[in-house]
């Protein structure tokens, strides 16, 4: 049995509470699908992508959080391994949603930069957790 540190337990609790916001994205998609909200094909694609990335990254982030407890990482490396994917679970979906906001939008606005920021956190968190496990 893995015993969680206080920091890991707090982070996991925050992540699970924050995961309820994925339902907001689901509700948005539902209103589009049933025709209550008009959206361009671009917006539909980005809203779906944002919703999917949020859900998958939260699960992956919680897994990384648990696995990080089995490493000898400390300090900023430990934080990155434990929380990097969870940060990506917030930042990357924000990029999808925020860059598609606006009536009739057919291409992303400047918020699309968050996709790259989220991807950087994703890769950094995964690499750090993986290397931490391999060197423990």
CA neighbours closer than 13 Å in the CB half-sphere of residue 128? 25
Q: What is the pLDDT of residue 1?
A: 67
Q: Considering the entire predicted model, what is its pTM?
A: 0.92
Residue ranges of domains in the chain: 6-134
Q: Say how far apart CA 66 and CA 124 lie, in whole Å.
A: 17
Reading the chain (136 residues) residue by residue, the pLDDT tens digits are 668 999 999 999 999 999 998 888 888 889 999 999 999 999 999 999 999 999 999 999 999 999 999 999 999 999 999 999 999 999 999 999 999 999 999 999 999 999 999 999 999 999 999 999 999 9
Top CATH class of 6-134 equals mainly alpha
The residues, ordered by sequence, that sit 6+ positions from 91 with a Cβ below 8 Å of its Cβ are 114, 117, 118, 121
């Amino acid at each position: 049995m893995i015993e969680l540190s206080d920091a890991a337990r707090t982070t996991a609790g925050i992540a699970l509470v924050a995961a309820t916001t994925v339902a907001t994205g689901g509700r948005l998609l539902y209103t589009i699908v049933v025709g209550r909200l008009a959206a361009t094909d671009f917006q539909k694609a980005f809203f779906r992508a944002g919703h999917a990335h949020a859900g998958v990254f939260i699960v992956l982030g919680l897994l990384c959080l648990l696995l990080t407890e089995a490493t000898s990482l400390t300090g900023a490396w430990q934080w990155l391994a434990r929380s990097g994917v969870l940060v990506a679970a917030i930042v990357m979906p924000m990029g999808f949603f925020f860059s598609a906001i606006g009536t009739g939008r057919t291409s992303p606005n400047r918020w699309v930069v968050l996709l790259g920021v989220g991807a950087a956190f994703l890769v950094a968190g995964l690499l750090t957790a993986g290397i931490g496990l391999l060197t423990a």
